[in-house]
Amino acid sequence: MNRWQDWWEQGLRDLDKARIDLEFGYYEWACFTAQQAAEKMLKALGLKLGDTLWGHDLTAILKWLEREKGFKVSPEVKEAASTLDLYYIPARYPNGWAAGKPADHFTRKKAEEALRAADILRRFCEDHFP
C-alpha cells in the first residue's frame, strides 16, 4: 500500500500548524514545523513516484530528485530547502546555541521566511505530482 497521500495531507496540516505558531508568537516552532511540513511533502512526492525517501535534509532530497528522477530544481526551490534545513535542530534544542533557549533566537521575520520557503516547496511538489 502506498501511503503518499497520508504524508501529503500531514504535510499540509503541519503547514497550517506553522501558521498558527506564527500567529501566536511561537516563532521557533513555526520555523521547525515549516521544515517538517516541507519534509513530509517532499517524502509524499517520493512515495507518489514509488520511492521511500529517508532523512531530514531537504537539500539532499532535492539533489536526489535531480539525480535519480531528472527533476529540474530551480535556485528558488534550492534556497527554500536550504533555509528550512537550518531550522531542523536549532529551533528545538537549547544546545543548538551557545547561550539561551531557541525562543530567544527566532523572530517573526524568520518564521515568515520559513513559511514562505515551505510554500515554495509545496508548490514544487504539486508541480511534479505525476
> What range defines the domain where residue 21 resides?
4-128
| Domains: count for the chain | 1
CATH code where residue 71 lies: 1.20.120.330
Q: Look up cell 531528472; give the residue.
A: 70
Q: What is the pLDDT of residues 67-114, one digit of tens each?
A: 999 999 999 999 999 999 999 999 999 999 999 999 999 999 999 999
Q: What is the pLDDT of residue 126?
A: 96
Between CA 124 and CA 130 the distance in angstroms is 12
- What's the pLDDT at 130? 72
Q: Are 97 and 90 in contact (CB under 8 A)?
A: yes
Residues 28-43: tens digit of each pLDDT: 999 999 999 999 999 9
Q: Are 37 and 127 in contact (CB under 8 A)?
A: no
Q: What is the pTM of this model?
A: 0.96
